[in-house]
A and B are shown apart, each in its own frame.
Chain A
Amino acid sequence: EAQVTQNPRYLITVTGKKLTVTCSQNMNHEYMSWYRQDPGLGLRQIYYSMNVEVTDKGDVPEGYKVSRKEKRNFPLILESPSPNQTSLYFCASSFGTGVSYEQYFGPGTRLTVT
């Protein structure tokens, strides 16, 4: 089954404790992206990757890191989480950035930082 998987689905952590949210897709997609969703703000892009070893900042990259060592994986790293990073996070992927531009989303990771 074609899908984007994220782990963990739920995470409660404390300020400053490094964490990684994994994202994996099995569709051989080149483009991958991380979003956060906050009430009243919709989805905001954190980082994106056009291909292996190619990453770039989205609209809200502060406090986050990513890596793209393999085509299928795109982990999101919070080196020192803070309470303002409490949010619902989505990973997404697509074949590319062409006209159809349909993105496939993971189920989301709800992160709470206390």
Chain B
Amino acid sequence: DQQVKQNSPSLSVQEGRISILNCDYTNSMFDYFLWYKKYPAEGPTFLISISSIKDKNEDGRFTVFLNKSAKHLSLHIVPSQPGDSAVYFCAARPNSNYQLIWGAGTKLIIKP
């Protein structure tokens, strides 16, 4: 039973438009959420995070929104650029331990 779900295996977006990647979770005890980006043949790299006490965190073109009542978070990329083409993983940390629970990933393709 996956506690962190990314229901879209892939997403295609035109360059310059907004990319919205979604993540749903089932455990209300998660206190921290992170997004990682992964290029082929490389390990994931940290992108942006949000604490459960906030509903928004912004870093340049990247914004993460957290809706705790819906147990949903989303990553917005504006404007989308070709270099954003990658697999994006959502991860969550339970407040009871230090492990991260990961989603299956969404492959984002930015079309020129």
Contacts and interface: CB of A to CB of B under 8 A. Distances in A.
Contact of A59 (B6, B34, B41, B99): B99
A44 B34 contact: no
Nearest to B42: A107
Contacts of B100: 43, 45, 101, 103
Interface stretch (A12-20, A61-69, A71-79, A92-100): A92-100
B60 interface: no
Contact of A4 (B4, B41, B43): B43
Max chain B CB contacts within 10 Å: which of A42, A44, A45, A50? A42
A58 B94 CA distance: 13
**Which range contains the number of B residues in contact with the other chain?**
20 to 34
A58 B104 CA distance: 17
A42 B43 contact: no
A67 to B, nearest CB: 19
B102 to A, nearest CB: 4
Interface string B75-112: 00000000000000101010000111011110000000
A101 to B, nearest CB: 6
Nearest to A100: B49
B104 A40 contact: yes
11 contacts: A41-B104, A42-B6, A42-B102, A42-B105, A48-B98, A50-B98, A101-B49, A101-B93, A101-B100, A102-B49, A106-B43
